[in-house]
Chain A
């Protein structure tokens, strides 16, 4: 008696979505990172009836805790001065998404949340590129604590170089960070050149793929197939995280790439991440609704061939042959450097057993300039502890000391000694003992 039921077909893979548009939060009313950003995406997803598909589920975000932020960031101005509730929800959304996958509740998960995070570095003096805290890193470090995973790969497909994530994992041999982005010579933040390969004790764990402006679907797929997929296959991460920026879309007002929604879908098929976390993308009407839909369908193993932007024409997402040639050569160069990182200079100098570099960092969102001196202890037993001298015009000087997860006992002790000495001198300092998951500060 009962007929062919009109259920939507089950997703090829189960997918958990944590959708948090933060309709009550904006950097400022006219800022690209404003309330409206996910409004049309939400309407599109609702109207598509996506949440009725068996296997696709929507989940309420949890709130990250201050400890989750401290595990990743040093915040010289004080945690509460650089974060607000929105950041804790955004990071909490990513953690909720990750828990779905790690606990086996869903095969894949996507945190569609704002504000974004991939420009936030280890030290946070303020906002950079609309980011205050790095939500992927906060999520990954929480996963490492709760689920005991070690090898994680991040594939950052935002059009802007993921300089914050790169900085956080620069010295971590257990995290493969791959960023594919518009060449830094033509776009903010300027970094992400092919010879940026990771710190002196983690060479090759950072991979940068700077693509020329006007790269379209075929160009991205070429780079993904020639570089990203082989690296992931070879490196064998336990978990692949995608920083899913959507500003490569041909309608994006800030960047200059030509990826289509279906191109994003194909890119996802190739990368096949367990987790995706929304990053940038500011074509909120012309791109986000369609790109997010295509990404979701691809992650769920469903057909996305009808996700065609209104008024789309082939020429809008095509790639010129000369660009394809360039990407072919670029792929060889990237893979060569990844295998022979010693062929490039890491930019550090040795001083009394430490690898040292000095640099300036600009926080464009808040207009802050920071001076940093980074000292990495060159330990023969472990990745070495890190000492960062930071100062900014607004906040003055302070010290940050981190003993990494894999630190040997001697390094843990030495790092703590440096922190205690600084505290005894009465100078502001922060300390993270990652092996003990313990964080301290004296201000």
Chain B
């Protein structure tokens, strides 16, 4: 048995499924439960859903529990992350004041590494200590240390990390920019390290609480956490790199869609648009050639651009609980939300505007509890605007918004830059064959969505809990970047903590073997190369050599037989 949990804005979903017998079924799970999500804390909903789904089951039969949570995301969105100091070594280039919000504890230090990772100015340890002591004096215990071009040479960052541990204590959360990602983007590296440092303690507490709950529930299996890149990592890893778990919601949903393919009737589109409509928001994501399409840069969270690998996604503040209103004669859906829908409320809630779910009830698309309550609220709204057909106008407005965002997402994907003549001539355009609607209101929206989106719309069985299914079935993922410069004689894979000397004969073939072996060491086998490039270089003083850049990943996918824990 596998358990998947997904924390949504309104509900926390959980499913229990039989890992050997879920495919091709109308109800691919043994049990699905829902627990309300608390506004201020993720944990109670997770624990309640976990308890409910386990009720009457043999805990020893459970082979894995996967949690997709909004823990880190919520902490950042509500400003409840730990106070965190940032030490930055920007060297030549853009003034960091340009991209770092005021009021955050950023200290700029001298020192510099250039675009090849060559140290061109020394670090000033005295100034670093002084900055760290100032943090400590302000009660700041967490720290991020980030240097420009650190993935090419993490030396200055490592030196700062050691200083930070000396000054702030061995248990202080210290995040190194190059640990989280080997990709280039200094401002994003700063924000990523900031997220990791500031969420370390929150994530650590959550991890312990999960472990305790598992013990209490007599679970004897690994607990893993869903990541934004549609893979999972262990509860312990999540505590060390909490930023990677932010924004996992759409990822869990897309993996659910992947798990549910082929749909009844044998339809199994390889390029598809996922529309996941929940109570609070609607997420769009893409499957390209049967694989989740990842964003070029990384997740943007609470206004911070990061290097966190994540799906290429759009989130719209529009869902079943979105409040309906007339705005200068135009129908407006959201962004305010008010749950539950009137039709779903157990009793009369008094004067209140209807929600999108109520509109679907009025249209006869959804059959829920108290349609008369939905009708009354809709009538009141119509009267206010002097119309009769409000419900349809609101649903159309919602669909139109989704269509616009989907078009803009696809335009973004299809105009991504390329850098070689070959790529320019062969890059293809992504055109989804179908849209897959999942989430609570999916079934009700689908018949209308087909016209609005201009493509076939499919609603898989179990559309309402695809997110939890996805979490249950997602496999581990990992991404690593290798950077080698034979004239410098260095190779680094900072995200895997590897750095070594190389000689002038080090070539692309050897580099490929190194990165795949390193990933295999981490349990990611087989991994695939995302890109592998070698550039001949010619240095006036040092002569000829090469620069090698490789990214390899264990991509997202479903657990396969031998990987099932």
Binding site for B on A (CB under 8 A): 1-9, 19-25, 29-30, 34-36, 39-40, 42-44, 46-53, 58-61, 63, 85-86, 89, 253, 285, 289-290, 293, 297, 302-303, 305-311
Q: Which residues of A contact B114 (CB under 8 A)?
A: 285, 289, 310
Interface residues on B, range: 35 or more
Q: Residues of A contacting B539 with CB < 8 Å?
A: 285
Whether B98 pairs with A9 at a CB distance below 8 angstroms is yes
State which of B95, B184, B422 has its C-beta within 8 Å of the C-beta of A46: B184
Q: Is B120 an interface residue (CB 8 A)?
A: yes
- Check: B315 CB closer than 8 A to any chain A CB: no
Can you list 21 A-B contacts (CB < 8 A)? A5-B303, A6-B100, A6-B191, A6-B303, A19-B417, A20-B419, A20-B424, A24-B420, A36-B535, A40-B115, A42-B419, A43-B184, A47-B149, A49-B188, A50-B94, A58-B417, A60-B424, A86-B421, A303-B95, A310-B92, A310-B121
| Bound form: Cα–Cα A302–B99 in Å | 12
Which B residue's beta carbon lies closest to that of A41? Answer: B115
The reply to whether A1 and B536 form a contact with Cβ atoms under 8 Å apart is: no
Q: Output the least CB separation between A135 and chain B (Å).
A: 15
Give the residues in chain A near B99, CB-CB below 8 Å: 6, 8-9, 49, 52-53
Report B-chain residues with C-beta under 8 Å of the C-beta of A86: 421
* Complex Cα gap A307–B336 (Å): 44
User: Is B170 an interface position by the 8 A CB rule?
Assistant: no
Contact A309 B92 (CB under 8 A): yes
Contact status B535-A307, CB under 8 Å: no
Task: Point out the residues of chain B lying under 8 angstroms from A5, CB to CB.
Answer: 101, 302-304
Residue of B nearest to A3 (CB): B79
The reply to whether A289 and B115 form a contact with Cβ atoms under 8 Å apart is yes
Within 105-148 of B, Cβ neighbours of A (below 8 Å) are at: 112, 114-116, 120-121, 148
B454 contacts A by Cβ under 8 Å: no
In the bound assembly, the distance between CA atoms of A306 and B425 in angstroms comes to: 38
* CB pair A23 B419 closer than 8 Å: yes
Checking A29, A285, A302, A309 against B536 with a beta-carbon cut-off of 8 angstroms, the contacting residue is A29
Q: Known contacts being A40-B115, A310-B114, is A22 close to B421, with CB within 8 Å?
A: yes
**With A5-B101, A6-B304, A46-B184: A24-B422 Cβ-Cβ less than 8 Å:** yes
Smallest CB-CB separation from B152: which chain A residue? Answer: A43
Q: Is the CB of A3 within 8 A of B302?
A: yes
How distant is A138 from chain B, measured CB to nearest CB, in Å? 17
- The chain B residue sitting closest to A1, CB to CB, is B78
B91 touches A40 (CB 8 A): no
Task: Report chain A residues within 8 Å CB of B302.
Answer: 2-3, 5-6
Complex CA distance for A25 and B185, rounded to whole angstroms: 26
Q: Which residues of A contact B265 (CB under 8 A)?
A: none
A8: which B residues are within 8 A, CB to CB?
98-99, 187, 305
- CA of A403 to CA of B110, assembled, Å: 61
A62 to chain B, nearest CB (A): 9
Question: Which of A6, A63, A285 gathers the greatest number of chain B CB atoms within 10 Å?
Answer: A6
Judged by a CB distance under 8 angstroms, whether B216 is at the interface is: no
Of B78, B120, B186, the residue contacting A311 (CB under 8 A) is B120
Q: Is A35 a contact partner of B535 (Cβ separation < 8 A)?
A: yes
List of 5 A-B pairs having minimum Cβ-Cβ separation, nearest first: A5-B303, A310-B120, A49-B187, A46-B184, A47-B184
B188, closest chain A residue (CB): A49
Tell me, in angstroms, the Cα distance from A44 to B113 when the chains sit together: 11
Residues of B within 8 A of A40 (CB): 115-116
In Å, the complex CA distance between A254 and B185 comes to 31
B209 interface residue per 8 A CB criterion: no
Contact call B94/A85, Cβ cutoff below 8 A: no
Would A47 and B115 be within 8 Å (CB), given that A6-B101, A60-B424 are in contact?
A: yes
Query: Which B residue's beta carbon lies closest to that of A23?
Result: B420
Whole-angstrom CA separation of A286 from B95 in the bound complex: 19
The one of A49, A89, A308 that contacts B92, using a Cβ cutoff of 8 Å: A308
Complex CA gap A96/B119 in Å reads 37
**Which residues from chain B sit less than 8 Å from chain A, CB to CB?**
77-79, 90-95, 98-104, 112, 114-116, 120-121, 148-149, 184-188, 191, 297, 302-305, 415-422, 424-425, 533, 535-540, 547
- Report the minimum CB–CB distance from A225 to chain B (whole Å): 25
Tell which of A2, A52, A305 touches B305, judged by Cβ atoms closer than 8 Å.
A52
Q: Which residue of B lies closest to A18 (CB)?
A: B417
Residue picked from A22, A25, A40, A49, most chain B C-beta under 10 Å: A49
What's the Cα separation between A309 and B91 when bound, in Å? 9
With both chains docked as a complex, state the minimum distance between the C-beta of A378 and any C-beta of chain B, in angstroms.
45
Chain B contacts of A29 at CB under 8 A?
536
With a cutoff of 8 Å between Cβ atoms, the chain B residues found around residue A311 in the complex are 120
Which of A1, A9, A42, A305 is close to B79, meaning CB atoms less than 8 Å apart?
A: A1
Query: How far is B297's CA from A76's CA once the two chains are assembled, in angstroms?
Result: 46
Are B303 and A7 in contact, with the CB atoms below 8 A?
A: yes
A294 to B524, CA, bound (A): 42
- Considering the chains assembled together, what is the distance between the CA atoms of A30 and B538 in angstroms? 7
Give every chain B residue within 8 A of A25 (Cβ-Cβ): 421
A25 to B148, CA, bound (A): 29
B191 / chain A contacts, CB cutoff of 8 Å: 6
Report which of A1, A20, A52 forms a contact with B188, defined as CB distance below 8 A. Answer: A52
Q: Closest B-chain residue to A9, C-beta based?
A: B98
CB pair A293–B93 under 8 Å, yes or no, is: yes
- Bound-state CA distance A21–B416 (Å) is 15
Nearest neighbor of B304 in chain A, beta-carbon distance? A6
What CA separation (Å) do A23 and B532 show in the bound complex?
13
Indicate if the CB atoms of B535 and A310 lie closer than 8 Å.
Answer: no
A310 touches B91 (CB 8 A): yes
Smallest beta-carbon distance B112→chain A, Å: 6
A303 x B112 contact (CB < 8 A): no
Q: What's the minimum C-beta distance from A183 to chain B, rounded to whole angstroms?
A: 25
A35 to chain B, nearest CB (A): 6
8 further contact pairs, Cβ within 8 A, besides A307-B93, A311-B120: A4-B103, A19-B417, A47-B149, A89-B421, A285-B115, A290-B93, A293-B94, A309-B92
Q: B425 contacts which chain A residues (CB < 8 A)?
A: 85
Give every chain B residue within 8 A of A53 (Cβ-Cβ).
Answer: 99
**Known contacts A29-B536, A35-B535, A85-B425: A306-B92 contact under CB 8 Å:** yes
Asked if A49 and B95 make an inter-chain contact with CB atoms under 8 angstroms apart, the answer reads no
Are B92 and A52 within 8 A (Cβ)?
A: no
List of A residues within 8 angstroms of B297 by Cβ: 51-52
Contact of B415 among A20, A21, A60 (CB under 8 A): A60
Of all chain B residues, the one with the shortest Cβ separation from A17 is B417
B421: which of A24, A50, A290, A293 is its contact (CB, 8 Å)?
A24
Q: B535's contact among A39, A253, A289, A303, by CB below 8 Å, is which? A: A39
**Cβ A59 vs Cβ B115 within 8 A:** no
Neighbouring A residues of B533 by C-beta, 8 Å:
23
Distance in angstroms between the alpha carbons of A96 and B110 in the assembled complex: 40
Structural contact, B186 and A47, CB atoms closer than 8 A: yes
Instruction: Name the CB-closest residue of B to A62.
Output: B424
Q: Are B101 and A306 in contact (CB under 8 A)?
A: no
Min distance, Cβ A287 to any Cβ of chain B, angstroms: 12
Q: Which of A22, A39, A89, A302 has the most CB of B within 10 A?
A: A39
A11 CB, nearest partner CB in chain B, Å: 10
Which residues of chain B have C-beta atoms less than 8 A from A36's C-beta?
Answer: 535-538, 547
Q: In whole Å, how far is A106's beta carbon from the nearest beta carbon of chain B?
A: 14
Cα(A307)–Cα(B121), bound, Å: 14
